[in-house]
Amino acid sequence: MKVAMWYNDQDVRIEERPTPKIGPGEVLVRVEASGICGSDVMEWYRIDRAPLILGHEVSGQIVAVGEGVKRYKEGDRVALAHHVPCNTCHYCLSGHHTVCETLRKTNFDPGGFVEFVRIPTINVDRGIFVLPDHVSYEDATFVEPLACVLRGQRITHMQPGSTVVVIGSGIAGLLQVMLAHAFGAGRVIATDLNEYRLEAARRLGADIAINAKEDLPSRLRQSNQGLLADLVIVCTGAPPAITQALKSVERGGTILFFATTNPGATTPISMNELFWRTEITITSSYGGSPGDYQTALDLIGAKTIPVSQMITHRLPLAKTGLGFQLVAEGQNSIKVIIEPQK
Phi/psi at 2 (5° precision)? -90, 140
Question: pLDDT tens, 11-48?
Answer: 999 999 999 999 999 999 999 999 999 999 999 999 99
* Banded model confidence at residue 271, pLDDT cuts 50, 70, 90: confident
Average pLDDT, stretch 62-83?
98
Q: What pLDDT, on a 0 to 100 scale, did the predictor assign at position 214? A: 96
Q: What pLDDT, on a 0 to 100 scale, did the predictor assign at position 292? A: 98
Q: Calculate the CA dihedral of residues 122, 125, 127, 128 and round it to 10 degrees.
A: 130
Q: pLDDT over 70 for what percent of the chain?
A: 100
Flag the least confident range among 23-27, 36-40, 63-67, 266-270: 266-270
Distance CA 63, CA 183 (A): 37
CB 33, CB 60: distance < 8 Å: yes
Q: What pLDDT, on a 0 to 100 scale, did the predictor assign at position 21? A: 98
The verdict on domain 2-142+305-339 having CATH code 3.40.50.620 is: no
Q: What pLDDT, on a 0 to 100 scale, did the predictor assign at position 324? A: 97
Q: What pLDDT, on a 0 to 100 scale, did the predictor assign at position 277? A: 87
Q: What pLDDT, on a 0 to 100 scale, did the predictor assign at position 188? A: 98
CB 25, CB 69: distance < 8 Å: yes
Question: pLDDT tens, 287-302?
Answer: 999 999 999 999 999 9
* Banded model confidence at residue 276, pLDDT cuts 50, 70, 90: confident
Residue ranges of domains in the chain: 2-142+305-339, 148-284
Question: pLDDT tens, 313-326?
Answer: 999 999 999 999 99
DSSP track, 262-296: PTT------HHHHHTTT--EEEE--S--HHHHHHH
**pLDDT higher than 90, residue 176:** yes
**pLDDT higher than 90, residue 267:** no
**117 pairs with which residues across the strands?**
29
Mean residue pLDDT of the chain comes to 96
- Asked if 2-142+305-339 and 148-284 have one fold, the answer is no
Nearest to 126 by CA among 27, 57, 35: 27
Q: Report CA-CA distances (Å) from 281 to 33, 216, 272, 295.
A: 38, 19, 14, 26
Q: Give the list of residues 6+ apart from residue 166 with CB closer than 8 angstroms, or none.
A: 173, 176, 177, 180, 188, 189, 190, 191, 201, 206, 233, 235
Distance CA 165, CA 160 (A): 14
Percentages (nearest 5) of helix, strand, coil residues in the chain: 35, 25, 40
CB 321, CB 295: distance < 8 Å: no
**pLDDT higher than 90, residue 266:** no
Distance CA 188, CA 67 (A): 49
**pLDDT higher than 90, residue 264:** no
Q: What pLDDT, on a 0 to 100 scale, did the predictor assign at position 186? A: 96
Average pLDDT, stretch 231-248?
95
**Which DSSP helix (H) or strand (E) runs through 34?**
strand 27-35
CB 141, CB 57: distance < 8 Å: yes
Q: Find the DSSP H helices in the chain.
A: 43-46, 90-93, 101-105, 121-126, 137-140, 143-156, 171-182, 195-203, 216-223, 239-248, 271-275, 290-301, 320-329
* Banded model confidence at residue 194, pLDDT cuts 50, 70, 90: very high
Distance CA 169, CA 176 (A): 9
CATH architecture assigned to 148-284: 3-Layer(aba) Sandwich (3.40)
Question: pLDDT tens, 113-134?
Answer: 999 999 999 999 999 999 999 9
